[in-house]
Amino acid sequence: MATITAGELRAMGETQTLEFKRSLSLMREGFESLCAMVNSNEARGVVGFGVEPDGTIVGLGATNLDSAQQSLANHATQKFDPRLQPTIQAFQCEGLPVLVMSAARARGTPYHEYDGRAFIRVGSVTRQLQLTEKQQLSLSRNRDTHNGPWRCDKCGAFAGMVSSVAITAAGPRKVYTHSCGGEWWPAT
């Protein structure tokens, strides 16, 4: 098993994108936090199991890490919609076993729901998204309905609106490619 120091573990995320859970009995809360972090603008999150919220390594005791990894992966497959498959890694940290799960939201996905509910992170607090907020995210993160401003994912250029429109058999289509080879995405 790979080893990791407590400092390296903390460096895997920042306040907005990292949360620790003391044990796997808090799996559900861990997944809700992961859901909230990927739904935030950072679009990624890391949850460490076997670590106190203050970063103290407590380990996962005699847990069978292989089967725990598998059950976390299966749980994610069943509960996230759209599908979100976290990477789940086992480490030895300060001589104790910990599990780290990390995931990122694809930019074309406005938000993920976990077990029928969407969560969001505000500061270090995880809360449920209201229907109007979900509708707002669907609009603001949807390239076809977004009116700008836009930012290129390659060169970082800003644009007020997407100026390229291609005429296709299905009608006019916005074009999202920038001359640098990057793509325009909502800059929010």
Would you tell me which residues interact with Zn ion (CB under 5 A)?
152, 154-155, 157, 178, 180, 182
Tell me how far apart the alpha carbons of residues 37 and 42 are, in angstroms, rounded to a whole number: 7
Q: For the CB of residue 143, give the shortest distance to Zn ion in the complex, in Å.
A: 15
| Closest among 91, 29, 16 to 60, alpha carbons compared | 91
- CB 178 to Zn ion: min, Å: 4
Toward Zn ion, which CB reaches closer, 127 or 154? 154
Rounded to a whole number of angstroms, the minimum distance from the CB of residue 175 to Zn ion is 13
Give the nearest distance from C-beta 187 to Zn ion in angstroms: 12
Q: How far is the CB of 183 from Zn ion (least distance, A)?
A: 8
Buried-exposed string 49-77: b where 16+ CB fall within 10 A, e elsewhere:
bbbeeeeebbbbeebebeebbeebeebbe
90 - beta bridge partners?
99
Q: Among residues 157 and 161, whose Cβ is nearest to Zn ion?
A: 157
φ, ψ (nearest 5 deg) of residue 148: 105, 175
Judged by beta carbon, residue 115 or residue 183, the one nearer Zn ion is 183
- Rounded to whole angstroms, how far apart are CA atoms 91 and 98? 5
Cβ-based nearer residue to Zn ion, 94 or 153: 153
DSSP at 3: E
- Please identify, using beta-carbon distances, which residue of 61 and 156 lies nearer to Zn ion: 156
